[in-house]
Structure 1
Amino acid sequence: MDSAVWGMIGTLAGAVVGSAASIFATWRASAVSYRMHDDKQKQERIERAKEFQRVTLLDLQESLHDLARMVSKAHEEQDLAFKSSGEWKSDVLSAEVKELKRMAFRKVTILVERVENAQLRSDVKDFKSYVSPQMSIQNQAEAQKLQHEMMEIFRPLIEKTGTVLRSYY
């Protein structure tokens, strides 16, 4: 074969190899770009989840405070009624306190289900279960005991909520 044929074969082979290299480089760049985009989306999803937990935990702390305040307010109203009548009654709460207490329980119930941390969720549910029988207490001594123990449980719960919250920063 003469050199012109070999030159033509070389040119065609060079074009085929060059095209293959170009196609491979484009495919590789697309794969890297897709992976980078996917990683970015995963990171954004993680950040959105962390932000959701931060907002939820801040709202939960506020709601737990509201709940403890309403339970204390209900205890105060029951105690005042006891002092004036000499008889302990559980049905002496004002309509306003009943409603605020109901709303506080409702808000905590909703928020606790959004909390990712299973132990904190369990602790909040335990706290709710502990304070919910307040209306069925039969005497002042039981009410005083509940009030005191509620505060002993409440403080560590708020601290734990803060610890979990800080873990999302």
Structure 2
Amino acid sequence: MFGISQEVWFPVLTLILGALLKGAGDWATDSRKDKREAGARNAERRIKRNELQRATLLELQEMAARLGRFAGRAHHEDAMAVRRGGTWGKSLLGNEVSEGLRSASADVIKLSVRVRDGDIRELASRFVGQCAAASMAKSESESERKLNEAIDTDNVLNERIGKVLRALDDDET
């Protein structure tokens, strides 16, 4: 070949071809390794996201129950004020109940915006509004109606949270 003996060009050619093939093999190995690592990172992110959602949903259930209890206590305080001769909704709620309603509402709202499921966000918002409406009602019958609506919404909310939690559990198995 071009006046160069085979003993010289053949080893050089095989060295060049070997280096090119080694580079191609390393590239393929690195590419597979990168895809595996990306998949592992994605799986880890999904697991962390699911853990955060699970914790948020469980805490949301607790805070919604707390809000419901304070809404019931507010209704009871108004009913007791009426029985003492007052007018519905005109007497101030006790500090504990008033602050409990405020903080539980804020907690439900704060937690619900972190939830990925739109139905849960909508149900939580509706529940907070119904609890507020029950505590600001102008009559006992209106308050009872709003409180019953809130209870119904809370039941649907809890069912939806349970369904999403089960789906998160299924996703990890």
TM-score (norm 2): 0.89
RMSD: 1.6
Distance 1:15 1:86 in 2: 101
Distance 1:108 1:44 in 2: 28
Distance 2:146 2:51 in 1: 35
Q: Does residue 78 in structure 1 map to residue 78 in structure 2?
A: yes
Q: Does residue 57 in structure 1 map to residue 30 in structure 2?
A: no
Structure 2 residue runs of 5 or longer lacking an equivalent are none
CA contact (8 A) 2:127 2:154 kept: yes
Larger RCO: Structure 1 or Structure 2 (Cα < 8 Å, ≥ 6 residues apart)?
1
Q: Which amino acid aligns with 1:32?
A: R
1:142 positional shift: 1.3
- Bigger CA drift: 143-152 or 72-81? 143-152
TM-score (norm 1): 0.91
1:125 positional shift: 0.9
Question: 1:100-123 deviations in whole A, cap 9, x for unaligned?
Answer: 111100100100100101122112
Task: Evaluate the alpha carbon distance shift between residue 165 and residue 28 of structure 1 in structure 2; reply closer, same or farther with a 3 A threshold.
Answer: same
CA contact (8 A) 1:90 1:135 kept: no
User: 2:84 is paired with a residue of what secondary structure?
Assistant: helix
1:131 positional shift: 1.9
Q: Percent identity?
A: 25
Distance 2:91 2:150 in 1: 20
Distance 2:34 2:91 in 1: 64
Distance 1:106 1:163 in 2: 24
Extract structure 1 runs of 4+ deviating beyond 4 A. Answer: none
Q: Which amino acid aligns with 2:142?
A: E
Task: Evaluate the alpha carbon distance shift between residue 123 and residue 84 of structure 1 in structure 2; reply closer, same or farther with a 3 A threshold.
Answer: same
